[in-house]
Each structure stands twice: as C-alpha cells, then as structure tokens.
DNA sequence: ACGGCATGTCCAA
DNA sequence: TGGACCTGCCGTG
C-alpha cells in the first residue's frame, strides 16, 4: 500500500532512532529467525529508501532489505525521537483524534500549522509513544512496558536500549550483501529524492519515450521510475491532463519531463506531510472542503461515477495493469 | 461478526 | 494471466 513517500519517512525514522546504535534483532514470529541472527548485535550504519524499497545497513556489510507490499507496516515504540515533520503531522493527532489517522482531522489547516501547541514540545525531544508507519501513520500512547509484548505476527523486531521497531506483513524481508543490494537497486528506475539532478529526469524521459507501452503502465513500472503507486499514478496523469493510454513513445519529451518534475514535487510534499497531497493547486476554499472528507481528497482517485472537479464529466474506472485506474475522459482526452 | 477490499510484487501455469 | 502472499480497515448486517 505505501507509495514512495511513506517509505522515505520510515527510512528517516530509522536514521534518527537506529543509525549509530547497536541493534538486537529477533523474529518473534520465527519466520525470519536465520536472517535476524545474521544482523543481531551489529550496529546500524545506514537507512535509506529507494522508491518503495528500504535498505537498513549494518556493520560488516550486511543489509536488511524490506518491502512492505500491500499490507506491511512498521511499529515503533519506546522513547522515539520524532523527526520534525513526523512530530508535527502526528503530534496533535494522538490527543485530539483518538481513532483514525491524521487524515481524518477535522481541521485541515493543522497540516500547515507546525507551530501548534502539541508539536512544539515534541520536535527534537524523545517522546514515549507508539507510532505505526505504513501507508498512513498513527500515533498512540506508549505501551506499559518496554519492550512491549509482540502483537500478532512480528517478522522482525529491531531493538535498541530505548526504541523498538516491529515489522509485520512485509512482501520482502531479507539480509543481503552489498553485491545483492546493487542487483536490486540496478533494477530500479530513478527516485527524485535519491537522484535530484537532471540526469535522473533524462533517464526517466528516455525510458518512457522508447516504449510503446501506455504511460499509465509506465508510471507504475518501478524500473522506469521508482516509488509511484496507484494513487500517485492516477493523480499525476490527471494533473498533467494526460490520457493514460497514450504510448510513452508518442509523448513529447517536454510532457514527460513535466511528469517527472510533478512527481518530484508531490513526493517531496508527501515526505514532508506524510500525506498524499495531490490537490495543492486547488482554490483554498475548495481545497479546505475537499480535505475535510477522506473520500474527497483527490482529483480522480476513487472517484468513479462522480463529476470531475474541473469539467463535471463522470470519472471513469477501468482496469490497467491489474489495478484500478481512475481518470477523466474529457480532461484527459 | 463477517467479508470484501487495498496506496504491491512475484511466480507458476 | 491468475493466484499467493498475509494484514488492517471499512461497510454491512
């Protein structure tokens, strides 16, 4: 479920709370006992995300590769050092909104209010809490004991003196050597946060324009561009007023480059806010209205049968690449 | 309480 | 190309 922005946020949490620390690794569930033993007792040296993949580096050239897939999640507990953006995005949530995620906050302005009363004290200082990080984030009160009892099927538990991170339901979880990491990374297209330069944009443009495959499929192809998932695909195509069926090879280069730049922008905003903010160019009043409802947060995603926000034509739902594709047949003609 | 579905990927037929 | 993977959420009753 998580698209690229979520994985970058998780990597950031590991960077802040685990890198530089000796880590006790275990597999409470048992399915990853051998892998956990390989990294147990080692110091974490690196935490990085590329697209939807995350790599945690350990001394002795061991890397833990994790892909959350559809329903994977990391749960942090203990004295968590909050990244500023995570603290501000979650700080108020735990106290004003017991159930649901921050996305359900009744006050959409809170997103931009990083100087709010709850967030100020939390930034920088460790907070005793429980933080779930998956496609959305949810902060709760700290468990009674530390480390907490594992709940459910915990594939991997990473533990320092003060922080505990549990991984559940991942698609991929394995220990690799540097060469194997390189093999995985080599199959990935550019990620705007990893490759911010013009080279990456050119790489993307070349990959798209040499294929006759529909742009709607190419955006989801992790070897073409890393990190885009089904929500960002639909929203990026609408924002570009681009027909999803157009073959990559038929797109003017400047249009392809525009798609890359818009993805870079949405990803950056997503990492900063923890939300998929795709309607930033909406009028303030309309934006406020849209953000107030979970079902109404995007241009086209999950809006089949509803009138297009721009032209009023009903949004269409179709299958593309075994996934649901939402688009406006008029605006994206 | 229960069933369907989901922001993903891989692999066997 | 369809199913497996394997978890949480939400709507329905």
Asked if the structure places residue A253 within a domain, the reply is yes
Distance (Å) from CA A320 to C1' B13? 22
pLDDT at A89: 56
The residues, any chain, with a CB within 8 Å of residue A267's CB and separated by 6 or more, are A4, A5, A8, A191, A192, A193, A227
Whether cis (ω within 30° of 0) applies to the bond prior to A273 is no
How far is it, in rounded angstroms, from Cα A1 to Cα A5?
Answer: 11
What does pTM read for this prediction? 0.89
Q: Based on the domain organization, do A119 and A229 belong to the same domain?
A: no
Residue A254 shares a structural domain with residue A176 = no
Q: Both A150 and A251 in a single domain?
A: no
Domains in chain A, number: 2
- For residue A223, give its domain range: 198-327
pLDDT tens sequence for chain A (333 residues): 689 999 999 999 999 999 999 999 999 989 999 999 999 999 999 999 999 999 999 999 999 999 999 889 999 999 999 876 675 555 433 333 332 333 333 333 333 333 332 333 345 678 888 999 998 888 888 888 899 988 888 999 999 999 999 999 999 999 999 999 999 999 999 999 998 889 999 999 999 999 999 999 999 999 999 999 999 999 999 999 999 999 999 999 999 999 999 999 999 999 998 888 898 877 777 777 777 666 678 999 999 999 999 999 999 999 998 899 999 999 999
- Statement to judge: residues A113 and A259 lie in one domain: no
pLDDT of residue A116: 33
Q: Is A52 a catalytic residue?
A: yes
Domain boundary, last residue among A155, A184, A213: A184
pLDDT at position A179 = 92
**The two three-digit tokens of residue A90, written as one number:** 């979650």
A130 and A16 fall within a common domain = yes
- Give the up-direction half-sphere exposure of residue A171: CA atoms within 13 A in the CB hemisphere: 11
Q: Residue A67 CB closer than 7 angstroms to strand B?
A: yes
Shared-domain flag, residues A88 and A40: yes
Residue A219's CATH number: 1.10.8.50
A252 annotated active-site: no
Q: Pick the catalytic residue: A3, A135, A201, A235?
A: A3
Residue A273 and residue A6 in contact, taking contact as beta carbons nearer than 8 Å: no
Whether the CB of A70 is less than 7 Å away from nucleic strand B comes out as yes
Residues A320 and A224 in one domain: yes
Q: Which nucleotide is nearest to A68 (CA to C1')?
A: B8
Q: Is residue A60 part of a domain?
A: yes
Please indicate whether residue A92 is annotated as part of the active site: no
My answer on whether A125 and A272 are in the same domain is no
């Amino acid at each position: 479920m998580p698209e690229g922005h979520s994985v970058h946020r998780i990597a950031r949490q590991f960077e802040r709370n685990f890198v530089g620390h000796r880590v006790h690794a275990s597999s409470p569930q048992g399915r990853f006992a051998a892998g956990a033993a390989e990294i147990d007792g080692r110091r974490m040296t690196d935490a990085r995300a590329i697209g939807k993949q995350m790599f945690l580096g350990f001394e002795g050239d061991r890397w833990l590769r994790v892909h959350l897939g559809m329903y994977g999640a990391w749960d942090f507990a203990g004295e968590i050092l909050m990244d500023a953006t995570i603290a501000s995005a979650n700080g108020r949530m735990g106290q004003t909104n017991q159930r649901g995620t921050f996305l359900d906050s009744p006050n959409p302005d809170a997103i931009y209010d990083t100087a709010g009363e709850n967030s100020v004290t939390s930034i920088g200082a460790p907070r005793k809490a429980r933080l779930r990080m998956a496609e959305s984030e949810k902060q709760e009160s700290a468990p009674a004991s530390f480390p907490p009892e594992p709940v459910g099927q915990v594939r991997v538990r990473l533990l320092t003196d003060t922080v505990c991170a549990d991984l559940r339901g991942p698609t991929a979880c394995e220990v690799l050597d540097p060469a194997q990491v390189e093999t995985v990374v080599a199959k990935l297209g550019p990620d705007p946060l990893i490759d911010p330069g013009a080279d990456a944009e050119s790489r993307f443009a070349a990959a798209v324009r040499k294929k006759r495959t529909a742009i709607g499929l190419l955006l989801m192809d992790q070897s073409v561009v890393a990190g885009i998932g089904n929500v960002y695909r639909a929203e990026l195509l609408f924002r570009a007023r681009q027909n999803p069926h157009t073959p990559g090879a038929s797109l003017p280069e400047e249009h392809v480059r525009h798609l890359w730049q818009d993805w870079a922008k949405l990803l950056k905003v997503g990492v900063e806010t923890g939300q998929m903010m795709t309607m930033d160019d909406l009028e303030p009043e309309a934006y406020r209205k849209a953000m107030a409802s979970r079902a109404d947060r995007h241009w086209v995603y999950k809006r089949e049968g509803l009138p297009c926000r721009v032209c009023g034509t009903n949004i269409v739902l179709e299958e593309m690449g075994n996934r649901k594709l939402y688009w406006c047949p008029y605006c994206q003609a």
